[in-house]
Structure 1
Amino acid sequence: MQKETWIVVANKEKARIFEVEKFGSLKEIHTLIHPQSGLKADELYSDNMGCTTEAFRMGQHMMEPATTYKVKEAIIFARQISKYLDAEKKTGSFTRMFLMAEPSFLGVLRNELSASVTKCVEAEVSKDLTKFTAGEIWTHMPVVN
């Protein structure tokens, strides 16, 4: 049985899914976009930060959110990618996969993948290759046994 191989190339704003047609030949089959990740934090949420008043000292202090808005948006997009990959895995669209993602997004994406999709990951490349051509992406493929 031939293994269907996919390559996921992603950053916080865009994910490109490729299918390996034959050795050295990639076909882009799907693109996911998350424009919110490209916005500035004040453009994402217009609410002001919360305030706290200290009982023993005078004054108020602004409270930073526990997780920044940019990180929240990255997690939302990683979940969207994961949901798509999980649905495609269930239909048998791929049996193995390579992840190529911007370093700060790779861990976020890895954490959101389902167990069944994670088992298909053969290797990871920690680089943002979303603007590269299919041929250029192929040159970054890791050597796998």
Structure 2
Amino acid sequence: MTVTTWVVVADGSRARIFETQGLKLDLREIEDLVNVVPAGRTLSEKDREKFAKTVADYIEQGRLHQRYQRLRLTVEPKFLGMLRERLSDETHRMIFEEINEDLSTLDAREIEAHLQRH
């Protein structure tokens, strides 16, 4: 059976979820979550924490539905801490790599190139 890996690339305002088979870096974007705040307002700490819960819930649902067997997080450092706090122990065990960087503005090929260097 081929192992499916989810690669989560996120910061406090956007989380992109990619899927790839095995350890290959052939990323296919399956979800793009955006932290929407009312117009004219800047993103507060509370907004970022609420968004961390949204992203964590999506990751947890993916695990519960067995959509992936391995997780790779490439997340802006402060947001990574918020996200980590909201993931279950079962999901933590599926994480095989964490990269403390914000790559959320890059396209899939740029992300692949960056991850290959790690």
Question: Please, what TM-score do these two structures have when normalized by structure 1?
Answer: 0.72
Q: Deviations over 1:55-85 (max 9, x none)?
A: xxxxxxxxxxxxxxx2221111111011111
Larger radius of gyration: 1
Corresponding position of 1:130? 104
Higher deviation after alignment, 135-144 or 88-97: 135-144
Corresponding position of 1:87? 61
**Secondary structure class of the residue paired with 1:104:** helix
**Secondary structure class of the residue paired with 1:129:** coil
**Secondary structure class of the residue paired with 1:8:** strand
Write the mapping of 1:78-117 to structure 2, written as runs, cut at 5 A. 78-117=52-91
Moved over 4 A (4+): none
User: Hey, what's the Cα distance between the residues in 2 that align with 1:39 and 1:128?
Assistant: 22
User: Hey, what's the Cα distance between the residues in 2 that align with 1:25 and 1:109?
Assistant: 24
Q: In 2, are the aligned partners of 1:98 and 1:124 still within 8 Å (CA)?
A: yes
User: Hey, what's the Cα distance between the residues in 1 that align with 2:68 and 2:74?
Assistant: 16
Paired AA for residue 7 in structure 1 = V
Percent identity, aligned pairs only?
33
Q: Deviations over 1:17-68 (max 9, x none)?
A: 0001472311000111112299327xxxxxxxxxxxxxxxxxxxxxxxxxxx
Query: CA RMSD for the aligned pairs?
Result: 2.2
The count of aligned residue pairs is 116
Q: Structure 2: where are the runs of 5+ without partners? A: none
Q: Does 1:4 align with 2:1?
A: no
**Secondary structure class of the residue paired with 1:94:** coil
Q: Structure 1: where are the runs of 5+ without partners? A: 42-69
